[in-house]
A and B are shown apart, each in its own frame.
Chain A
Amino acid sequence: MLSAGYVLRRVLQMVPTLVFILVVTFVLVRLLPGDPLSAIGGDHVTDAQVAQARAAYGLDQPLFAQFLLYVRRVVTGDLGRSIVVQVPVWSLVGERLPPTMLLSGMAVAIGVGLAVPLAFASALRRGRATDLAIRAGAQVGLSMPVFYIGLVLLTVFSAHLRWFPVGGYGDGWGDRVYHLFLPALTLGVSLAAVLMRSLRAAIVDVLGAEYVDFARAKGLPTRVILLRHVLRNALISTLALLGPTVGSLLGGAVITESVFAIPGVGRLMIESIYGRDYPVIQGLTLSLAVTVSLAFLVTDLIQASLDPRVAR
């Protein structure tokens, strides 16, 4: 069972990570060439106007003073206000994080749903035609750029067959799941390819393990061995992969979000970086880091409860 001490230790471990990310992001955004005022106004702005706006946003203050102010605000839960769109960062995060989380959740479901049966089929028929076909298919799934898969799916299933809408996010949860199916499939396919490869290897290992030999010797039917021993152990390994994967999905769905016109954090992040919208980049990175850390925490806790050796 999980001890309270283990859970507490895991939660406390998040703190240095988040502090590190806060500092790095603050420095990194200021290393980018230009500043929020560079992105604004284009050719129309005179130097005097830039200086005036810079002062208005406190960007003419010494860096350390800016940092202290930022930290003081963050500690009180204030992420500031966007310089480009003039909206509180909290409300932007609140609007843009849910679509990405729903998309990532669906992508993981599709990825695991595809990977587990395929990995079993492949591992159990190791070296035979099925195995080769599945592995070659996974390789194709892994090698196709996301924007290309996305456009092909949109052209075929949305524009021609009219089974799905052409991008967008929709209203209401049912409609949203419907809108997000194709993008989730796009991400899910490459995710499945990664998961499949690792899972197959894990299953092959487990199949060769002594306790499986032992179970077989006891005369347990293959089905029971597969379910009780192989699947359980393979799932523990899969969980270990999922934490980091959700992290990369949340921050890395930029291109999928663009192709499918999903108003998620990935697009907001890119737009904010291009716009040098310091408060938004900082607030968003921090929110994402908290979310991803929580995802790690949850997968770790589940893993620990399944496999007590982890919770040393």
Chain B
Amino acid sequence: MTAAEDLLSRRRPAPRRFRPPSLPRPSPALAGGLAILAALLVLALVPGLVAPYAPAAFDYRAILKPPSFAHPFGTDNFGRDILSRTVWATRVDLQIALFGTLVPVVFGTLAGAVVGYYGGWVEALFGRVVDAVVTFPFLVLVIAIVAVLGPGLFNLYIAVSVVGWVFYARIVAAGVALQRRLDYAAAARVMGYSTPRIVLRHLLPNAVSAAIVYWMTDMALCILLGSSLGYLGLGAQPPTAEWGVLIADGKNYMNTAWWISIFPGVAIVLAGLGFSLLGDGLADLLRPKR
């Protein structure tokens, strides 16, 4: 997950002012991604539309039942309906994807713009910060932060944000640095525009596309991190239904009740696919035409 930024920053953005795409033909990737995410968003907003039961409701008479008409995805060891839990989890997981990346995107982009514009010692200092953050074992940091602040999603967001912003900052810094050397930036300086205006209005928009594409991957990775922490008991707390925790719940039943893990697993893959298609679609859209 530490990855994509270098490559992305290597792309040569167009030496021109950013123009919002004027209604281009949506690529199949973009359309597919949007469709999947729109469907998930509907499930997150009105889970009752599909979920037949309350996500935490026990049914002692229907423990570990395989998929059936009454329980299309089967039930778990508390007799809870897997379909309902998987659907209700959509809300939690989309929140994780959004709130786990929101601060990194905003703060990282601004920090990256500053670093990229000024360069020099600011850049050197930033380089050391990046080294330190990337060198520190990530999972250790997350576990330590969750242990200090207590388990739960909010503290998970804090932990992820402490590290996550660095990657956006790196991507944006590289982009801004590249733009700064181009003619139109010099022209803007000559015309006497203020520094914030040059950075925000001219440099950033052209450098930010790579960060947006990375954001999509990051959201999927954030959901997956939730499942790793679920395995360790540090993610969403019961009875909250969350895909990663649902998969971890089913681990001991892999041989006898496969349905507990499989359906939430499919949901994660689907959401990941949605984000990644959207990312690819946006990349195509934002990639300079030649």
Q: Mark A residues whose CB is within 8 Å of B.
A: 13-14, 16-17, 20-21, 24, 28-29, 31-33, 135-136, 139-140, 142-148, 151, 155, 194-195, 197-199, 201-202, 205, 208, 237, 240-241, 244-245, 247-248, 250-252, 254-255, 266, 269-270, 273, 285, 288-289, 292-293, 296
Contact = CB atoms under 8 A, between A and B. Distances in A.
A21 B135 contact: yes
A147 B245 CA distance: 12
A273 B224 contact: no
B3 A148 contact: no
Contact of B137 (A32, A155, A198, A252): A252
Contacts of B268: 143-145
Contacts, number: 154
10 contacts: A17-B132, A31-B148, A33-B148, A139-B273, A143-B271, A143-B272, A145-B228, A155-B254, A201-B11, A237-B6
Contacts of A202: 7, 10
Interface residues of B, number: 51
Interface string B148-175: 1000000000000000000000000000
A139 B269 contact: yes
Given A143-B269, A205-B10, A205-B11, A250 B137 contact: yes
B140 A273 contact: yes
A32 B144 CA distance: 7
B4 interface: yes
Contacts of A146: 228
Contacts of B224: 142-143, 145
Secondary structure call for the A interface: helix
A57 B148 CA distance: 22
B7 A273 contact: no
Contacts of A255: 228, 231-232
A250 B280 CA distance: 29
Contact of A285 (B10, B137, B276, B290): B137
